């Protein structure tokens, strides 16, 4: 049985959710971003306890199939942007390939549920990754642009300024206090 969980966006989230199940005496078969697989359905008491425990940690069990699909879209975007090295494949190809659905269908659903397009969500995630990489001060802007699949440094800089109101160099001077958690984008 699969249990969809909202706001699982990083490896620490997986660890936190795993600990919740462990504390409840349930050993999941698999725990990954946005999803936990258990051997058998939870009892009503276990389900209520799981909802309570996860809510206390900022997570949410998703019962709505459409919202589950939206969370899968988010998980795929986050995984590709924040955990993979190079991002040279358009999400118009990635999402249908991973979810077995037409991009137009995914895009319409995502916009209805989230109030922004998939493209806007991807941009927000990419800009947060740029902020993270800038704060580490290990890569040049050119290397960051390449790593995140931008066609040029100028395009990255223009998009960065449009989203944040700052140039990448101005952001770098200010420090990391302007970063946002990726689950709040």
pLDDT of amino acid 83 = 80
Strands 30-32, 35-37: pairing is: antiparallel
**pLDDT, greater one: 82 or 15:** 15
Strand-pairing partners, residue 3, are 36
Task: Give the least confident one: 80-89, 112-121, 166-175.
Answer: 80-89
- Examine the domain organization and report whether 11 and 70 are in the same domain: no
pLDDT of amino acid 177 = 60
CA pair distance 22, 12, nearest whole angstrom: 15
Q: How high does pLDDT run on average in the chain?
A: 89
- Examine the domain organization and report whether 100 and 75 are in the same domain: yes
- Examine the domain organization and report whether 83 and 127 are in the same domain: yes
**Tokens 């800089």 -> residue:** 157
- Examine the domain organization and report whether 55 and 71 are in the same domain: no
pLDDT of amino acid 184 = 58
pLDDT interval class at 11 (50, 70, 90): confident
pLDDT tens digit sequence for 149-177: 899 999 999 999 999 999 999 998 886 56
Residue-number span of the structural domain to which 176 is assigned: 64-185
- Examine the domain organization and report whether 54 and 114 are in the same domain: no
Q: Which residues have C-beta within 8 Å of that of residue 75, sequence separation ≥ 6?
A: 8, 9, 33, 34, 35
State the CATH number of the domain containing residue 171: 1.10.10.60
State the CATH number of the domain containing residue 56: 3.30.70
At 27, list the tokens: 């050993």
pLDDT tens digit sequence for 86-102: 667 789 999 999 999 99
**Tokens 């249908």 -> residue:** 96
Tally of domains within the chain = 2
pLDDT of amino acid 173 = 84
pLDDT of amino acid 158 = 97
- Examine the domain organization and report whether 78 and 13 are in the same domain: no
pLDDT of amino acid 179 = 59
- Domain boundary at 37, 62, 87, which? 62
- What pTM, to 2 d.p., does this model score? 0.75
């Amino acid at each position: 049985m699969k249990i969809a969980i909202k706001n699982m966006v990083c490896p620490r989230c997986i660890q936190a959710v795993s600990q919740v199940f462990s504390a409840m005496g349930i050993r999941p078969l698999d725990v990954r971003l946005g999803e936990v697989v258990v051997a058998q359905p939870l009892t009503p008491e276990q389900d209520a306890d799981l909802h309570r425990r996860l809510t206390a940690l900022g997570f949410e069990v998703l019962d709505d199939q459409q919202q589950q699909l939206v969370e899968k879209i988010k998980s795929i975007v986050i995984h590709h942007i924040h955990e993979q090295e190079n991002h040279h494949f358009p999400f118009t190809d990635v999402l249908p390939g991973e979810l077995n659905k037409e991009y137009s269908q995914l895009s319409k659903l995502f916009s209805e549920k989230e109030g922004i397009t998939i493209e806007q969500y991807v941009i927000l995630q990419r800009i947060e990754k740029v902020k993270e990489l800038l704060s580490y001060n290990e890569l040049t802007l050119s290397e960051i642009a390449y790593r995140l699949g931008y066609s040029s440094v100028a395009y990255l800089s223009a998009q960065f300024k449009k989203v944040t109101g700052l140039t990448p160099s101005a952001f770098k001077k200010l420090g990391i206090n302007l970063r946002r958690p990726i689950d709040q984008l």
